[in-house]
Amino acid sequence: MAKPTMNYKLIAPCGMNCAVCIAHLREKNKCPGCRWPDENKPITRVICKIKTCETLRKTKVRFCFECGNFPCDNLKHLDTRYRTKYNMSQIENLENIKKSGIKKFIKNEAARWACQKCDGVVCIHTGQCIDCGAKK
């Protein structure tokens, strides 16, 4: 299978790369990503405290690092969970986007999550390629 497309719309305001999320990669009840409309999304994505943040909803803030309250408690909690369970940091992702820009971040993410065996995408939550099952 060809390398999956990673683009701006798949990078959530919190810095999560939805292109490597199990909810986006699965076949059944596939989540389109945090920036897409809420129809057919799992309820946990619809009510996400970060996605529904007042600042994000009422301003032109695209990413949490653009908020005066960055990093907020909700983001810190999510970041701690992802650092511990999945060895990935949303705060670090956001700092990289701020420093280098979204295009370079997406390019780096495509390389970071590419399967070494088949060039498919490795899921952040399982650590396995969705195409061939190889472990990262």
- Picking from 24, 2, 81, the residue whose alpha carbon sits closest to that of residue 49 is 81
- Picking from 46, 49, 40, 91, the residue whose alpha carbon sits closest to that of residue 74 is 49
Domain boundaries, the chain: 8-112
pLDDT computed for residue 91 by the predictor: 97
Query: Tell me: the pLDDT tens digits for 35-84?
Result: 887 777 777 777 788 878 887 778 878 899 999 889 999 999 999 999 99
Q: Where are the alpha helices (DSSP H) in the chain?
A: 22-25, 43-46, 54-58, 73-86, 90-100, 102-112
pLDDT computed for residue 2 by the predictor: 45
